[in-house]
Structure 1
Amino acid sequence: MRNVAAERDDPLSRRAFLSATSGALVGAAALGLTELGETTQRHLQRGGTLRFATRSDVSGLDFRRNTIYLVSMPLAAISQGLLDLKERSEPVPGVATAWDVTPDLQSIVW
């Protein structure tokens, strides 16, 4: 039997390859962490517009009527924290202690 590993002229062994690759990954991660410090030191600006894209139109923002997945992300962004839902989709207080739904079901007053 021939020793195939001894006949190869690989200038880079597996151990050398793994150590070089891991060193490169650690270096790339270290460079990424240095930029992270710069982003935390900037003055954060509050406010703005949050936009969502869905496959179909949202029929309204009444969380009791819209329980399908297509509108659940925008509804979660505007009501998460203020309210929570029980197992049967019944609203329970979160941060908001009281809320009132207008008769036309177009607005919720917190």
Structure 2
Amino acid sequence: MSALDLIATATASDETFAGRVMMIMFKVAQNVAAEDPATANHSERIAYAGLVIRGEEKPQLVSAHVISANATIAAAIESDPAALGANVPDGDIEFALASIWDARSLAFAAA
């Protein structure tokens, strides 16, 4: 395992993985925008969704968070570093984004 392989995927000059993360960020943001207002941390989650929808989030940073927070994604990248994350299914990225949404929402709310 090499953190360099993970970094290369999150921040590579070939921004394909970060672009995929960005597109799926919009999907998750739309889902959050339509969620039940009784959802825990809803106001922070919706504020972060707005930030994403306005294009004010950095996909490469979110890509790094997705990779570091999800062992399945990290393992897929490590199994074929040259693929730069092309072997990571979109569903895994979406799951990881949904999993870290509260943490990112609360971090932005605290800023």
TM-score category of the 2 structures, normalised to the smaller one: under 0.3
Give TM-score, length-normalised by structure 2.
0.22
Larger Rg: 1
Between the two structures, name the one with larger relative contact order (CA 8 Å, sep ≥ 6).
2
Greater per-residue strand proportion? 1
TM-score by length of 1: 0.22
